[in-house]
Chains A and B, each alone.
Chain A
Amino acid sequence: MRRAIVGLLTGALLLAGIVGVRRATPGVDEVYAPIARPGEVGEQVNTTAFQIRVDRVQVGRTVRISDGYGLVGPPKTTAGVWVVVSATVAATTGALQVQGARLRTADGAEYLASSISGTLDKTDLQPGIPAYGPILFEIPPGRLAGAVLSVTTHAVKALDHLGPAADIDLGLSGVYAKRLVDHAPQSLTVGKVREL
């Protein structure tokens, strides 16, 4: 009788163990996710392929692109708000672009940088020649709080498996995000990318 109970208990424990391990095992997407280094605004984040520092985060209702010679383009609208992240990026070993710039919101949605050309995420970067410029995002105003900037080298996720990445906390607390949205200027003029 005792033997049977011990046997049953052992079986139940093993089964629970199996269920636990199955639940805790990360999915294939997590296993192959890019290898991200964390950081925050004003801090230099070093990955194996690039270094990045976010210098400033602004929010605006529309953006206008300046060409660097004093000419400013027409305002570009959005159904949400524009988030302009100004950052400095440098390639460390080889030529690349940081095309996989995304705002990851608190609920897990990912907003790839706007396809508007001439921004930092579409700039050819070569080792030893850092560049400073804007990355543009469109996002519903209610999703700004808690958003994190995630940067990889490709816009297509399949090319970034186990690749270099930076996850930068933009310090967007609920109160701060609300203030940014409430006081967002009607128009934000965005400069061109500069090599430093």
Chain B
Amino acid sequence: MTTPEPSPGRTESRRGPLRPWIAITAVVFTLATVLALAWPAGGLREAKPDIPHRRLGETTTGHRFAINPHKVSYATKDPAPAYGDAKDGRFLTIEFEVENVSDQTATVNDLAFRLYLAVSPGSTVIDRFKDKTAGFVIRDGRYDREQLQPGLPERVMIVYTVPAGRPDPTSLTLSFEDQEYTSGFQSELSEWYPGDMLAIYDLEVGR
């Protein structure tokens, strides 16, 4: 009598029926992981439509602001000197009708952070932080207010300097980015985060 040797063939046959399950589990797991990662990243949402191009006087409404740029002008004199001290330089001024369409108080700065500017000729990018010299609500002929209260439309002026050594601007491309009050990556608590690009304004610069 011989003791039966554990043959490799038998081990194979015992593992055999397990194999399809391993494969199925692996496939399901991989799919689930891909879905779990893609869903929050917006990968399964509808593709974003092309960003519309707009003109002077047209309104764009986002989750926080509705804006309507109605005047763009260039000047070599500071249009809004802070505390009476006029700065030297060349200035680009944009005037808007703005309504805060959210349910929380905002400021002109909150809007200015979501506006991207490039001027022609020369396609010069104007830095929305560094080149901004003033931003305020025009009320009572004064420049000392900057709050935008929900549902109260205001006339808003934002002033930028034109970088030195660049030609005088004749046209402005102004891109307006949305903001959404949602929980973000840094914290589970809700804050205003940048959203989709809502519109690109093609504007003539007046003198």
Task: Write the residues of chain A forming the contact surface with B, with a CB cutoff of 8 angstroms.
Answer: 28-29, 32, 74-80, 102, 107-112, 114-116, 138-140, 143, 158, 161
Contacts and interface: CB of A to CB of B under 8 A. Distances in A.
A161 B187 CA distance: 13
29 contacts: A28-B183, A28-B188, A28-B189, A32-B189, A75-B140, A76-B139, A76-B140, A78-B139, A80-B149, A109-B103, A109-B104, A109-B151, A110-B104, A110-B105, A110-B150, A111-B105, A111-B149, A111-B150, A112-B105, A112-B147, A114-B147, A115-B145, A115-B146, A138-B147, A139-B149, A140-B151, A140-B152, A143-B151, A158-B189
B191 interface: yes
B190 interface: yes
A79 to B, nearest CB: 4
A154 to B, nearest CB: 14
Contact of B147 (A115, A143, A161): A115
A159 B35 CA distance: 36
Contacts of B146: 115
B189 A80 contact: no
Nearest to A116: B145
Nearest to B104: A110
A32 B183 CA distance: 13
Interface in B127-154: 139-140, 145-147, 149-154
Interface in B169-194: 183, 188-191
Interface residues of B, number: 19
Nearest to B137: A79
A143 B189 CA distance: 27
A76 B142 CA distance: 10
A29 B104 CA distance: 15
A77 B103 contact: no
B100 to A, nearest CB: 10
Nearest to B149: A138
A74 B103 contact: no
A176 to B, nearest CB: 21
Contacts of A28: 183, 188-190
B191 A158 contact: yes
A76 B140 CA distance: 7
B145 A74 contact: no
Contacts of A139: 149, 152
Contact of A79 (B103, B152, B188, B191): B152
**In the A-B complex, the 5 residue pairs with the closest CB atoms:** A112-B105, A109-B103, A79-B152, A28-B188, A140-B151
A182 to B, nearest CB: 19
Nearest to B100: A109
B103 A107 contact: yes
Nearest to A79: B152
Contacts of A112: 104-105, 147, 149
Contacts of A110: 103-105, 150
A161 B145 CA distance: 28
